[in-house]
Amino acid sequence: IRVIVSEPQLNQKLPRILAQESGARLVVLTAMPGGVPGTGTYLDMLRYNVVQLAQALQSARPD
């Protein structure tokens, strides 16, 4: 497991523990426009999620 994905509306305790114990990166993606600052439109939300996921995958440990 290289990346664990969560949502900002959820409690981050379990995803954080899973990431720490597995060595995976934790990335928080939004499922709703406006779910995080700067994602007021659907397109903004998609851009945000793509950037966050790409950064997490690039910095994740190799297999």
Quickly list DSSP for the chain: --EEEE-TTS-SHHHHHHHHHHTPEEEE--SSTTSSTT--SHHHHHHHHHHHHHHHHHHSPP-
Domain range enclosing 43: 3-59
What confidence score (pLDDT) does residue 1 get?
A: 85
- Per-residue pLDDT 10s for the chain (63 aa) are 899 999 998 999 999 999 999 999 999 999 999 989 999 999 999 999 999 999 999 986 666
pLDDT recorded at residue 28 = 95
pLDDT value at residue 4: 96
Domain count, the chain: 1
Question: What is the pLDDT, as a whole number, of residue 57?
Answer: 92
